[in-house]
Each structure stands twice: as C-alpha cells, then as structure tokens.
Amino acid sequence: MPYGLDFTKPGATGMTLLLHVCCGPCLLYPALALRKNAIAFTGYFYNPNIHPYKEFKKRLEAARHVSTELGVTLIVDKDYGLKDFLRAVVFHEKQRCHYCYSIRLEKVASKALSRHFDSFSSTLLYSTYQNHALIINYAKRIAERRAVSFYYEDFRKGWQKGIDESLRRGIYRQSYCGCIYSEQERYDNILKKQLKKKRKDNV
Ligand code: SF4
C-alpha cells in the first residue's frame, strides 16, 4: 500500500471524506496533508467546462496519475457540461466562478451523501489563484442545507510543496484555470497584473 495507508477506510479520526479533485497537481498537497492528519478520503473528479475538451482529458489523466501514485481511490465523473456552463454564464461572465464553484460543491456534497461519506471538501482550497473565501462560503451553505459536513483545511499553506512534488513526479501542470474565458485571459497582460495584485491581497 503506497504510504502504508488505505485512503478509503476510516482513518484514526474515524471520519470519511469525499474530496472533490480538480486536477492532479492540486490533489498532491491535500492528499499528503489529509494522510498526515489520518483522515481517510476518496477522490471525486468532477470538472465540467474545462476548455478545450483535450485539456479536460489531460487534467483527468493527471488526476488519475497522482491517484495511482498515492494509492487514492478516484471516482470519475466524465460530465463535460460545456453547454450548461455557457448558457448559465453568458452576459454574467464576471460572475462565472460562482457558478463554477457551486456546481462542483453541490455535486460533491450530493455524491458524499449518496455514498455515505461523513463529509466533503475540495482541492480548490489548495489553489492560491481561486477565490478561497467564496469557496468556503458556498461549501458552508451547502453543508447547512444537507446532512453532510464540510471539511475545511487551508491547503494553500502547502502551495510550494505541491508545486515541487508535481515537478518531481512529472505531473502535467496546466497554465490557466480551465474555462474558455480563462484560456483567453492568460494572454491579457493588463488583466494578469490586476489578478496578481488581487491574489497577493487574498493570500
Ligand atoms: S476562471 Fe476558473 S473558477 Fe472561474 S469559471 Fe473559469 S474555470 Fe471556473
């Protein structure tokens, strides 16, 4: 058993967790941190609206790669959801991340309930590029509505460690967040400067 721990059985804490997985590099640090805290978890890959479809496949492959190396069971949802995403965010593009977070968190909470996990969380909490406060807000509201708890840990503290590990293991690292808008924005220098400043203020 890699690392001598079965991630699928309750750990020393007795808690079982379903962890939403956005990609391989973002899974690395949370997986190692949860293991350190003896929290058993299963991964759940669910990432509609990653553009283009080939990129979606690459991220899925990287998530599988990391899961295999760490001995993490990974449930895969291949829903691509491009049309639903575009229909939901058109004319509200600046608010699109709300939709993106909420559908992922709703889905992982619902899957956790149907599979009898005690709690849910997300590797989105690892990225210093994401709106951390907004993710927590949605997750808490979802947990209040449903009989499943939200497990919170600030995985951002392992940001550099996760990067080093992914480079060391040769894991595919994406260069933009995921949707078609973010794919275009990575070339927008003015916006890049604004995001960099916002990111510094947030972390
Ligand atoms: S920028 Fe990232 S979080 Fe926001 S909608 Fe696009 S893929 Fe989702």
Burial of 168 from C-beta contacts in 10 A (0-12 / 13-18 / 19+): exposed
**Is the minimum distance from the CB of 89 to ligand 1 under 6 angstroms?**
no
Question: Do residues 13 and 38 touch, judged by C-beta distance below 8 A?
Answer: yes
Q: Answer whether residue 9 shows pLDDT above 70.
A: no
Can you give the CATH number for the domain in which 175 is found? 3.40.50.620
Instruction: Give, using CA atoms, the residue closest to atom 3 of ligand 1.
Output: 97
| pTM, 2 dp | 0.90
What does the pLDDT average to over 79-108? 96
Question: The domain containing residue 80 runs over which residues?
Answer: 2-202
Q: Who contacts 139 (Cβ-Cβ below 8 Å, separation ≥6)?
A: 105, 109, 120, 121, 122, 150, 152
Instruction: Give, using CA atoms, the residue closest to atom 5 of ligand 1.
Output: 97
- Ligand 1 atom nearest residue 131's Cα: 3
- Residue 3 pLDDT grade (very low, low, confident, very high; cuts 50, 70, 90): very low
How many domains would you assign to the chain? 1
Residues in the chain: 203
Question: Do residues 119 and 18 touch, judged by C-beta distance below 8 A?
Answer: yes
**Cα of 128 from ligand 1 centre, angstroms:** 13
pLDDT in tens, 116-134: 999 999 999 999 999 999 9
**Is the minimum distance from the CB of 127 to ligand 1 under 6 angstroms?**
no
pLDDT in tens, 143-184: 999 989 999 999 999 999 999 999 999 999 999 999 999 999
